């Protein structure tokens, strides 16, 4: 091979590497069909999404993308927003705060972007919030649960809303953690619980709230451990908690770690249930090692049991998406409609411009929507007023609902 | 207390022998062409996906369910695919840059690493998320009775440790005793003089990548069978550990790679158990040990002080 050809070959390999990286980090997909007979004389407005479309959490993220796209398509067909065609633009954050920040910058630099649905992870929202707030772009998350996102640095003692343009329909860890603890201690009768988390905003916060309530209810937290979100071998942690004889493990984090962790617990002779939050509610948890009897809490009620969600489920299936709508599909569909409905109200009075962005935020604040997941409304912090949660347990190859309840601090 | 200590030692030995196996690839390539092949962790990952592909798409379920049939086939598939990718990387990415300044192939290695990771993510079905890996050995856990309790080790973990150490020992004998091994050592000492003695350095270098890749591929398949799931990030993390092990043991030394790997495995598991900060800080102790060793012994446990070349 001549020197020149060799150089060309190397350049080709490097160029290939760059192209592939580019694919990985900047995948954006545009959806939304033009409404056939609607008046779209004023142009196109974009609803953005920031969610993990690739990587370990993509099962959840792709379900979110499809559900939001469905809501946008329906709005276009029904001419919900007078004078405008809606476009949908989903950006991949790979569940990484830094990449989510890039996605937010990209969306906020487009003057047609009016609102953003997402993110999935609390940690990514932390970097997205200030960027979108700078442009007064309304953000509604179906999935963020960390209390500080709406309540500020001291959520329990001195709540202060940091971003007036940020809303969410997922109940916070302040609700979900204790709800899980009440079930595990009072209903399942577990007394010696090992608590493990992945050290991320979501996982650590949830585990903290769980541990607090479980202790208050009289259970002993026998161990408080952390694992890395990219770890695959948990033998060290498991050997550490094994001699403490826990009768259950609570894991704050997501299914890519929780599934293998559950399998390795059993592998080390600890056949005790693992419980987690909404981040582990996916069939992938089971395929990665989750065992029958493992438990989880999730926000809202199971879609299949909700009369209000039947239309969504039918429409989703009719749309023929390749992926399941997954744990956040119903809530994502609702929050997308929250933005669309608020937009319809604001756009009714004339063209949408920068001056209308505050009006849009105010309209979202005043939302009162009968969504697929039930009533959607926000309190003065931008948190949902709907405190419905469900306990799930693994049966066969997926989670099945055990009971749905409204959280009460006892 | 004793069962916990021994469990952590067992965990450390299993992880450590795997890291040692991967580190062999780093150390051999560095010994021969002074290249830190940062893509080697990804070769390990590709091997795991190669083994999984063979188990999923090549084998009928009846065979895939019999571990004594599935295991050798998965190992061979993983080794072959990893070796091919390693050799291709050498041929198309590193060889054209062999006479370039040292930084050029190093950056290229990082590029190859990213390219391989993204290639698997894009082209392997469903590889965007972690994939379940079937059990390829006796399922279950061996409970070794010790005073005060039992020490659990998965059978697949025992297999991982034994195969890794056996392969490392085999490689040492091969390099010490065989004619080809002598050619490898000669090339490592001085490529130009080796060429004068009738050795084809290109052949030796390809062989080095081939062996290192095959070992990493075997490691990838065994690791998948041990943990029962694989993801495209597995190469990065274990690659960093293995690189650290190679440096700790003395880069260029086969014995050093294994000792370095075992040292890292033990520091990780015992540090997570007994040192302040617990498992959240176990990576910290690995690099503390690395720094301390390099301060007092910059060439690592078994390394030779680097010769200055003209």
What DSSP assignment string belongs to A10-74? HHHHHHHHHHHHHHHH--EEEE-PPPSSS--TTEEEEEEEEE--SSTTHHHHHHHHHHHHHHHHH
Residues ≥6 apart with Cβ < 8 Å to B241: B19, B22, B261, B264, B286
Contact B143/A269, CB-based, under 8 Å?
A: yes
B17 in A contact zone (CB under 8 Å): no
Q: Do the chains contact at A9 and B96, CB–CB below 8 Å?
A: yes
Please give the Cα distance from A230 to A309 (Å, whole number): 35
Q: Is residue B283, in this structure, part of any structural domain at all?
A: yes
In a domain, residue B116? The reply is yes
Structural contact between residues A116 and A107, judged by C-beta atoms closer than 8 angstroms: yes
Residue A15 near chain B (CB below 8 Å): no
**Structural domain harbouring B276:** 2-296
As a residue count, chain B comes to 310
Quick one: tokens of A332? 């994502």
Tokens of A112: 């047609």
B76 Cβ under 8 Å from any chain A Cβ: no
Q: Which of A1, A268, A288 sits opposite B130 (nearest CB)?
A: A288
**Does B269 sit within 8 Å of A13, measured CB to CB?**
no
Residue B249 lies in a domain: yes
Instruction: Answer yes or no: is the ipTM higher than 0.85.
Output: no
Please indicate, yes or no, if residue B64 is contained in any of the structural domains: yes
Each residue of B182-213: b (16+ CB within 10 Å) or e? ebbebbbeebeebeeeebebeebbbbbbbbbb
Question: Domains of chain A (ranges plus CATH)?
Answer: 28-171+305-378 (3.40.50.2300), 173-299+389-406 (3.40.50.2300)
Q: Is the pLDDT confidence value at B305 over 50?
A: yes
The distance of A233 to chain B (nearest Cα, Å) reads: 7
Under an 8 A CB cutoff, do B132 and A287 touch? yes
- Cβ–Cβ contact B243 with A under 8 A: no
Q: Is residue B290 part of a domain?
A: yes
Q: pLDDT tens digits, residue range B64-104?
A: 788 899 999 999 999 999 999 999 999 999 999 988 998 99
Does A54 contact B at CB distance below 8 Å? Answer: yes
pLDDT in tens, chain A (410 residues): 455 555 555 555 545 544 444 444 343 444 444 445 788 888 899 999 999 998 888 889 999 999 999 999 999 999 999 889 999 999 999 999 999 999 999 999 999 999 999 899 999 999 999 999 999 999 999 999 999 999 998 888 889 999 999 999 999 999 999 999 999 999 999 999 999 999 888 899 999 999 999 999 999 999 999 998 888 889 999 999 999 999 999 999 999 999 999 999 998 889 999 999 999 998 999 999 999 999 999 988 888 888 889 999 999 999 999 999 988 999 999 999 999 999 999 987 678 888 899 999 999 999 999 999 888 999 999 999 988 899 999 999 999 999 998 887 76
**Overall number of domains in chain B:** 1
CA-based nearest residue to A391, from A266, A304, A321, A295: A295
Give me the total of CB pairs closer than 8 Å, taking one residue from chain A and one from chain B: 138
The answer to whether residue B227 is domain-embedded is: yes
pTM here?
A: 0.81
Residue B31 lies in a domain: yes
Nearest-angstrom CA–CA distance, B75 and B218: 5
Q: What is the CATH number of the domain that holds B163?
A: 1.10.3470
User: For residue A48, which of A114, A111, A94, A124 has the smallest C-alpha distance?
Assistant: A114
B307 in a structural domain: no
């Amino acid at each position: 091979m001549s020197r020149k050809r060799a150089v060309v070959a190397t350049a080709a390999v490097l160029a290939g590497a760059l192209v592939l990286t580019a694919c990985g980090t900047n995948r954006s997909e545009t959806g939304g069909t033009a409404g056939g007979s609607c008046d779209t004389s004023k142009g196109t407005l974009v609803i953005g999404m920031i969610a993990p479309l690739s990587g370990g959490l993509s099962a959840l993220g792709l379900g979110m993308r499809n559900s939001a796209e469905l809501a946008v398509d329906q709005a276009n067909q029904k001419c919900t927003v007078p004078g405008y065609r809606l476009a949908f633009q989903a950006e991949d954050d790979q569940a990484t705060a830094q990449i989510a920040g890039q996605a937010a910058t990209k969306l906020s630099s487009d003057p047609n972007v009016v609102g953003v649905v997402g993110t999935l992870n609390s940690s990514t929202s932390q970097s997205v919030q200030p960027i979108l707030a700078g442009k007064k772009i309304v953000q509604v998350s179906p999935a963020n649960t960390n209390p500080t996102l709406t309540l500020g640095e001291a959520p329990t003692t001195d709540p202060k809303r940091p971003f007036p343009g940020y809303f969410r329909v997922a109940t916070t860890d302040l609700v979900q953690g204790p709800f899980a603890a009440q079930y595990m201690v009072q209903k399942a009768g577990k007394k010696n619980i090992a608590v493990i988390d992945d050290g991320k905003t979501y996982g650590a916060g949830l585990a903290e709230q769980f541990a607090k309530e479980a202790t208050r209810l009289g259970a002993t937290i026998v161990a408080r451990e952390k694992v890395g979100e990219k770890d695959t071998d948990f033998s060290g942690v498991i050997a550490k908690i094994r001699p403490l004889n826990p009768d259950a493990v609570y894991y704050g984090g997501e299914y890519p770690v929780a599934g293998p962790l559950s399998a390795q617990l059993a592998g080390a002779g600890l056949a005790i249930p693992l419980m987690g939050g909404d981040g582990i509610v996916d069939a992938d948890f089971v395929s990665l090692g989750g065992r029958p009897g493992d438990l989880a809490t999730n926000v809202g009620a199971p879609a299949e049991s909700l009369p209000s969600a039947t239309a969504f489920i039918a429409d989703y299936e009719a749309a023929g998406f390749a992926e399941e709508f997954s744990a956040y599909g119903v809530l994502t569909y609702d929050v997308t409609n929250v933005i669309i409905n608020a937009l319809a109200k604001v756009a009714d009075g004339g063209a949408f411009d920068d001056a209308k962005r505050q009006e849009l935020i105010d309209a979202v604040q005043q939302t009162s929507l009968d969504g697929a997941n039930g009533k959607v409304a926000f309190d003065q912090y931008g948190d949902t007023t709907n405190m419905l949660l469900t306990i799930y347990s693994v049966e066969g190859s997926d989670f099945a609902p055990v009971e749905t309840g409204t959280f009460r601090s006892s | 207390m004793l069962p916990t200590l021994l469990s952590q030692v067992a965990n450390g030995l299993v992880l450590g022998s795997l890291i040692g196996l991967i580190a062999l690839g780093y150390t051999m390539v560095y010994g021969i062409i002074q290249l830190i092949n940062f893509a080697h962790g990804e070769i390990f990952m590709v091997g795991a996906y190669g083994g999984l592909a063979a188990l999923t798409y090549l084998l009928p379920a009846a065979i895939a369910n019999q571990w004594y049939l599935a295991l050798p086939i998965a190992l061979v598939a993983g080794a072959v695919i990893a070796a091919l990718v390693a050799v291709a990387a050498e041929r198309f990415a590193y060889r054209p840059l062999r006479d370039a300044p040292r930084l050029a192939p190093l950056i290229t290695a990082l590029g190859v690493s990213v390219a391989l990771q993204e290639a698997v993510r894009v082209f392997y079905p469903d590889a965007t998320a972690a994939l379940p890996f079937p059990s390829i050995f006796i399922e279950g856990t061996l409970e070794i009775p010790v005073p005060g309790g039992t020490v659990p080790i998965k059978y697949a973990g025992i297999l991982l440790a034994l195969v890794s150490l056996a392969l490392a020992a085999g490689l040492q004998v091969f390099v010490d005793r065989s004619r080809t091994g002598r050619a490898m050592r000669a090339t490592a000492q001085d490529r130009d003089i080796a060429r004068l003695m009738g050795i084809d350095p290109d052949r030796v270098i390809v062989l080095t990548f081939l062996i290192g890749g095959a070992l990493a591929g075997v490691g990838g398949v065994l690791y998948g069978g041990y943990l029962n799931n694989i993801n495209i990030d597995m190469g990065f993390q274990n690659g960093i550990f293995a690189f650290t092990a190679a440096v700790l043991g003395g880069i260029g030394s086969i014995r050093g790679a294994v000792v370095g790997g075992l040292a890292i495995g033990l520091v990780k598991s015992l540090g997570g158990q007994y040192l302040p900060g617990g498992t959240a800080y176990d990576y910290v102790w690995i690099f503390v040990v690395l720094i301390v060793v390099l301060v007092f012994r910059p060439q690592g446990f078994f390394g030779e002080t680097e010769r200055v070349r003209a």
